[in-house]
Structure 1
Amino acid sequence: MKRAEQVTFGGSGLDRAGLLRSDADKLAQAYRDPSALCALLWRGKLLVRGEALDRLALLPMNNKVLEQGPGGVVETPVFLGKTDEGAPLFAMDISDWSAEGLDMSGVGDFVDRSEQQHPDLPEGYVFAELRRIMTRLSPRDAELAASAKAVIGWHETHRFCARCGARSEMSQGGWQRSCPACGGQHFPRTDPVVIMLITHGNSVLMGRSPGWPEGMYSLLAGFVEPGETLEAAVRREVMEEAGVPVGEVRYLASQPWPFPASLMFGCAGEALSRDIHIDPVEIEDAMWITRTEMMQAFAGEHPKLLPARKGAIAHFLLQHWLADTLD
């Protein structure tokens, strides 16, 4: 697909400077570099700035908050790479900050619209949920935000060695955990997920999961199993969830999805039948939507269907399906 990398989190050509990760001395030099900058996370939320919260807030390493050191799920800052000008980039977590007295009502909700201002940071620098502001960020800020959120989230859930159970330690600039007890080495996980634009004639198959907001539907999706191709996963997931057999399948585009650590493989598939037989354990409902109805949904005028979430690859694929630009 010619426009594949235009998807949110689609990549910005970030220099990840992977060779530096194994050089402790050079990493220490990078951390002390006066030009070094750091993204800040708090309970999974990114520090952003700007009237529209459309810029990732990158702090100098001598900032008061950063000088206090990590206060959360990582022991040391994670090395993200370098700016186009060569400045080192890091990410740090301060989830131990209590945010006492601030609005916490939305934290953990499906849609978190709350913002938290740290007392030691400039006015207008707030922690915001990435889902809410992801489409406002530049491609570079989006890539940095997705990388920081995903790798720090991995550290949060992988503090102990999967081989022997001993507490592991950060290494390779935060891109590995090493076990001092058994020598095991563990790397950030990425879960492959297929998300399917399944069409039959002029209609597309949409479904909804239990607990989603009223009117929210999306393309069907599911995890790829070990030993399975993307094409086989598409056919299996659509059959399991909606009972619809699928013929030809082709790959379209991918999207890193740091909620918490998926790589979405967008695929197109041709349904061999319009008959739907949902698995109520998998999904709550499924239906065929015509192009005209989808255009109504995108315009906010459909009586039942809300527009797909902007920034998600489902919205991206549906948008290009409507515009007939899936080539």
Structure 2
Amino acid sequence: MTHPFELLDLPALSRFTVDRREPLRTDVERLAALWPKSRVLVVDKRGRTLVADKGTRLVDQPALEFGDNPPSDAVLLGEQDGVAYWGVPSVDDGTEAQVSPARAWQFPELTDEPQLLDLRAVGALLDDTGAGLLTSAVAAFAWHRNARFCARCGSPTESVKSGWARVCAKCSHEEYPRTDAAVICLVHDGVGTNGENVLLARGAGWPEGRYSVLAGFVEAGESLESCVAREIAEEVGVTATAIRYLGSQPWPFPRSLMVGFTAVADPTEPLVPADGEVAQAKWVSRALVRQALAEPGSVDDLLLAPGASIAYRMISSWAEAS
């Protein structure tokens, strides 16, 4: 009997091993005792940090190089085996650099020497601990940069609770890191149990040939399943049925949680790409998807989502299903 496909492994950025429990963030004595042996990850405004060994190892630093106590802008990422891990933002000049969609997946050649790279480049290469630490740090600092002023009165805020909250200096209002829910859905043709063809799309501004599954943000008052149906109809003009949950992954660019689904659509329905959002959409056979995954660049007009994204895990899991 054939069963509906599931994700074969956790998405790359869903992995973590450190203890993130909240009480440690306010345990002053425990944090002070841990600080001398703590390790610190420095992250810049583009979410990059130093990695080595061809992108497989984070280059962290001894905590005491940053002083006798955690800096005021440090974020506690977690504890493991008696070692606390912290993140600190690097001192950058200017404003945060914007990366175009066409350049987001372009990476330099990986080397053994330290390189400044982001999660898109190395998220799938790092071990479980490294992937979890960098994902948390990038998400936390993206929020801090946008939460410097109180949402109620506009006064400056300061970081508290080891970087996991900000409090207003005037009215004492507390803010916590925000996450935007987004759905991402692999649509197949429903042939058999898992389909024989998958619906892929190229976003406006993406490089030629780059395709992925469909995604969009959840609106206020909308369920995840309703969002899936709406987004697929809006983006490519087809009706989604048999909507089913697969898994989730944080995507801190800047603060999304990608909630993965699969659904079925009729391949005879005309595809109508949303103007300004979707450049192209097409049905692709499982055989071609398998070839494109095994040998990137070997299939004309079919470059698939790289390994750090949940889209990669969804597509590769579907490709292996029977």
Shorter chain as denominator, the TM-score bin is 0.7 to 0.9
Query: TM-score under structure 1 normalisation?
Result: 0.85
Structure 1 position 2, deviation (Å):
6.2
* 1:177 match: secondary structure: strand
Which of 260, 264, 269 in structure 2 is aligned with 1:266?
A: 260
**Aligned AA (1:158):** A
Structure 1 equivalent of residue 213 of structure 2: 219
Q: Which residues of structure 2 form unaligned runs of 5+?
A: none
Q: Indicate whether 1:88 and 2:92 are aligned.
A: no
Structure 2 equivalent of residue 50 of structure 1: 52
Structure 2 equivalent of residue 203 of structure 1: 197
**Aligned AA (1:255):** Q
Structure 1 position 127, deviation (Å):
2.1
1:91-240 superposed matches below 5 A: 91-96=87-92, 109-111=103-105, 113=107, 124-200=113-189, 201=191, 202-240=196-234
Structure 1 position 206, deviation (Å):
0.8
| Aligned 8 A contact 1:42 1:93 in 2 | yes
Structure 2 equivalent of residue 278 of structure 1: 273
Task: Provide the C-alpha distance between the structure 1 equivalents of 2:247 and 2:74, rounded to a whole number of angstroms.
Answer: 31
Q: Residues 45 and 324 of structure 1: is their aligned pair in 2 closer, same or farther, counting only changes over 3 Å? A: same
Of residues 143-152 and 307-316 in structure 1, the stretch that sits farther from structure 2 once superposed is 307-316
**Aligned AA (2:16):** S
- Matched length: 304
1:42-81 superposed matches below 5 A: 42-63=44-65, 66-67=66-67, 75-81=72-78
* 2:182 match: secondary structure: strand
**Aligned AA (1:309):** P
Structure 1 position 215, deviation (Å):
0.7
Structure 1 position 68, deviation (Å):
11
Task: Provide the C-alpha distance between the structure 2 equivalents of 1:287 and 1:113, rounded to a whole number of angstroms.
Answer: 27
Of residues 272-281 and 209-218 in structure 1, the stretch that sits farther from structure 2 once superposed is 272-281
Task: Provide the C-alpha distance between the structure 1 equivalents of 2:232 and 2:98, rounded to a whole number of angstroms.
Answer: 33
**Aligned AA (1:38):** V
Q: Indicate whether 1:294 and 2:296 are aligned.
A: no
| Aligned 8 A contact 2:121 2:308 in 1 | no
Of residues 142-151 and 88-97 in structure 1, the stretch that sits farther from structure 2 once superposed is 88-97
Structure 1 position 208, deviation (Å):
1.3
CA RMSD in angstroms, aligned pairs only: 2.6
Identity fraction in percent: 34
Task: Provide the C-alpha distance between the structure 2 equivalents of 1:88 and 1:48, rounded to a whole number of angstroms.
Answer: 19
**Aligned AA (1:231):** E
Query: TM-score under structure 2 normalisation?
Result: 0.86
* 1:297 match: secondary structure: helix
Structure 1 position 305, deviation (Å):
1.1
**Aligned AA (2:116):** F
Q: Indicate whether 1:306 and 2:303 are aligned.
A: yes
Q: Residues 214 and 265 of structure 1: is their aligned pair in 2 closer, same or farther, counting only changes over 3 Å? A: same
| Aligned 8 A contact 1:11 1:143 in 2 | yes
Q: Residues 111 and 291 of structure 1: is their aligned pair in 2 closer, same or farther, counting only changes over 3 Å? A: closer
* 2:244 match: secondary structure: strand
| Aligned 8 A contact 2:56 2:125 in 1 | yes
Task: Provide the C-alpha distance between the structure 1 equivalents of 2:172 and 2:8, rounded to a whole number of angstroms.
Answer: 40
Q: Indicate whether 1:14 and 2:10 are aligned.
A: no
Offset from partner CA, 1:3-45 (integer Å, 9 cap, x none): 5652101223320131022334443443xx3211111112234
Structure 1 position 260, deviation (Å):
1.5
* 1:288 match: secondary structure: strand
| Aligned 8 A contact 2:52 2:115 in 1 | no
Structure 1 position 113, deviation (Å):
3.7
